[in-house]
Amino acid sequence: MSVIKWKNQNNDPFKELFELDHPLFGLSLLPFNSRLNAMSTDNLTPAVDISEDNQAVTIKADLPGIKKEDITVSLNDGVLSIRGERKSESEKTDKKCCRVERSFGVFERHLRLGVPVDESKINASYRDGVLEITLPKSAPAEVKRINVQ
């Protein structure tokens, strides 16, 4: 059996044009970017869900096959960073590899938070390949009135 490059036959011939990356943003400037929904084979950027209520911002990131020890979460100047590494599985067997679609390597995702958060109460948990980060909102600063004389 020989290994041949697999090409999805249902692929739109213009899709590659719509998925051109902009070097500053890392995402397509056009709305047809399928990589927003899932991890692709050429990019390890994890898919995220972001929700917000009155008390907190919650971020869920899909990180299948990654160990908890290989994930780093940090917050700096209102930007949440998720960094990690999916290590390759090096099995030494007599098997021939017929198809490899899973990507391995280091990834990093930066998310700018639009609200101030209480950094001392941030909570992160990892279960079943999903990283969940809860960022409690901080109380809004009181408006200080200044008397004009």
Task: Return the HEC string of 2-22.
Answer: CCCCCCCCCCCCCHHHHCCEC
Residues 126 and 63 in one domain: yes
The span from the CA of 138 to the CA of 149, in Å, is 33
| CATH number of the domain that residue 68 is part of | 2.60.40.790
Q: Is residue 116 in some structural domain? A: yes
C-alpha of 16 from chain center: 21
Structurally, the chain folds into a number of domains equal to 2
Residues 85 and 30 in one domain: no
> Which pTM was predicted?
0.62
What lies within 8 Å, CB to CB, of 15 at 6+ separation is: 32, 34
Residues 74 and 25 in one domain: no
| pLDDT for 19 beyond 60 | no
User: In this predicted model, what pLDDT tens digit does every residue of 95-117 receive, in sequence order?
Assistant: 776 776 777 888 899 999 888 99
Q: Which domain holds residue 55?
A: 43-89+99-136
Residues 57 and 74 in one domain: yes
